[in-house]
Amino acid sequence: MRRRLLPLALVGLLWVGSLPQIADCSGDPLVRQGTELMRNGEFSAALDILHQAAKRQPDPQSIDGLLGQAYIGFGFQLLEAAKYAEAEQAFAEAVDYRSDDPRPWQGQAIANLHQGRNVAAEAALQEALGLTPQDPVLYQLLGRAKYASGDMAGAVSALRQAVDLGSASARDMLAKVEAEWQLEQGMQRDFSSVFQLSYADDGQSELAGSILAVLEDAYADLGAELDFYPEIKVPVLLYTRKEFERVTASPDWAGAVYDGKIRIPIGGLKRMIPELRALLYHEYAHVVIRFLGKGRVPTWLNEGYAELAGRRQHHLDLDELDRAVAAARLLPWDRLNKGFNGLSKEQVLLAYQQSYSFCLFLVDQFGWHLFRDLIVALASGADLAAAFTSAYGDYGLTWQQLQNTWRDSL
C-alpha cells in the first residue's frame, strides 16, 4: 500500500511569491525586456535575455541580482513541473548570482528530497540556515530530511526548533516523529547497499538478514525490467501489528505501507515465507514508482504494478475479479485514480485484482519498455489519456481502446 508523502514542493513554492520587487537596474532595453519577462513569470526566456544583456554591460555583475532572481523563479517552476534534477541545477546557478539569498539553497534541498538525496538536502538546508538562522520553514524541511534518512533524533530536534519559531504546520509532524522515535529507539539496525532495516531485537536477526536479501533481489529484478535503479537509501521498519496500526493509522486491510519508509507488520514471524517475499517485492515496487513516476502515477496503476511485482513471488487467485467480470461490475478507473480508501473490503480486493490484471495485460502484450514509457510520460505531467497515447500510440491504441481490448480478453 502506498501512502501520500509530504508535499515538499508546496512548501518551497510559498517562496516564489515572495521574490523581492524587481527593479530595472539599467537603461539597457534588454534588461528592461528581461525584467518584464520575469514579471510575467517567463523565467527561462528572461534568463536568455539577461545573459545577453550581461555581455554588453560595462560591469556584468551589475545585473547579477536579476539573474539570480530569474534562476530562483525558474527553479521553482521546474519543481512544480517535477523536473527535480533540472531544478537543482537552476538553484545551483542562482547561488552564484545571489550568494546571500537562502532561497537557492532551500530550492536545492527540496529538489534533492524529491530525488531521495537526503544527505545533500541536509547540507543545502544548513547553508540556508547559515543565512537565515531563525526561519521555521527551513527547520521544518531539515526535520523532513533527517526523518527521511532515519536520523530520528535529528528530526525531532529540527522540528522542535521549527515549532519554537512559530511553525504551526510542524506540530503534527513533530508528534508523528516523536511517536515513531519512541518505538525505534529500542530497535536493532541492519544495512545493505540500498536498504536500512530496523527491527525489534527478539530473535528476528535471521529473518532480518533474509528480508534484506529479498529486498536486494527486488532492487535488481525490478530495476532490470524498468531499467531504473534509484540511488537512494530506503528505510524499512518491522513492527508488531499493534505498533503498525498506531504508527500508520492504516485501514485494517493494509498488509504494509510505503510512505517514504517501508513499514511491515511482521508479527511473530521468524523465517522467510513466500507471502512475505511477495509483500517485500510489492512495497519496493512502490519505491520504484515514486521516483520514476515523480508522484504523478494514479493509485490503481501504482498498485497494479506493485501487485504484478509481488504476485510473481507468490501466486494468488483472482476470484473477486472473475466474479466482477461475470456480473459486469468492474470498478471505474476514475474512481481508482485517487486511492482505495472508502471502498468496501470486497471492492478493495477487486481494485487490487483489477489493477493487477490490467498491468499484466500491458506487460504481456507490449513489454516492459512501453510500460516504462507510460510511467515516464505521467512523470512529465501528461494526463492519463495523453500518457497512454505517448506510450502505445505507435500501435494505434488509445487509453479507451486499451481498456476495451483488456476487457475483451478477460
CB 158 within 8 A of CB 177: no
Complete DSSP assignment for 203-216: S-HHHHHHHHHHHH
Q: Residue 185: which region, alpha, beta or left (left: phi > 0; alpha: psi -120 to 50)? A: alpha
Secondary structure of residue 113 in the 3-state scheme? helix
- Across the beta sheet with 234-239, the strand order is 187-191, 195-200, 234-239, 262-265, 257-258
pLDDT at position 161: 97
Cell of 296: 504523478
Q: Where are the domains of the chain?
A: 8-133, 186-289, 294-410
Instruction: Write out the H or E segment, with its range, that includes residue 110.
Output: helix 103-114
Cell of 227: 531499467
pLDDT at position 61: 77
Determine the Cα–Cα distance for residues 239 and 184; give it in Å rounded to an integer. Answer: 10
pLDDT at position 12: 44
Determine the distance from the C-alpha atom of residue 84 to the mean position of all C-alpha atoms in its chain, rounded to a whole number. Answer: 11
pLDDT at position 26: 55
pLDDT at position 1: 60
Q: CATH homologous superfamily for 186-289?
A: Collagenase ColT, N-terminal domain (3.40.30.160)
CB 38 within 8 A of CB 70: yes
Helices 399-409 + 345-366 axis angle, to 10:
100
Determine the Cα–Cα distance for residues 103 and 123; give it in Å rounded to an integer. Answer: 14
**Residue 134 backbone dihedrals phi, psi, to 5 degrees:** -115, 25
**Residue 133 backbone dihedrals phi, psi, to 5 degrees:** -70, -5
Contacts of 185 (CB under 8 A, 6+ apart): 152
DSSP state of 142: H
Secondary structure of the chain: what % helix, strand, coil (to 5)? 65, 5, 30
pLDDT at position 301: 98
CB 140 within 8 A of CB 169: yes
pLDDT at position 242: 85
Tell me which residue of 382, 150, 344 sits closest to 251, measured CA to CA.
Answer: 344
Three-point CA angle 13, 283, 193, nearest 5°: 85
CB 245 within 8 A of CB 251: no
DSSP state of 189: E
pLDDT at position 267: 79
Pick 8-133's CATH classification: 3.40.50.10470, 3.40.50.1970, 1.25.40.10, 3.60.20.10.
1.25.40.10
Determine the Cα–Cα distance for residues 305 and 293; give it in Å rounded to an integer. Answer: 12
| Paired sense of beta strands 257-258 and 187-191, if any | unpaired
Cell of 161: 526548533
Determine the Cα–Cα distance for residues 376 and 396; give it in Å rounded to an integer. Answer: 19
Helices 274-293 + 205-226 axis angle, to 10:
50
pLDDT in tens for each of the 410 residues of the chain? 655 444 454 444 444 444 444 444 557 889 889 999 999 999 999 999 999 988 887 776 788 899 999 999 999 999 999 999 999 999 999 999 999 999 999 999 999 999 999 999 999 999 999 999 999 999 999 999 999 988 999 999 999 999 999 999 999 999 999 999 998 888 999 999 999 999 987 677 889 999 999 999 999 999 999 999 999 999 999 988 888 888 887 777 778 999 999 999 987 788 999 999 999 999 999 999 999 999 999 999 999 999 999 999 999 999 999 999 999 999 999 999 888 988 999 999 999 999 999 999 999 999 999 999 999 999 999 999 999 999 999 999 999 999 999 999 99
Cell of 212: 534484506
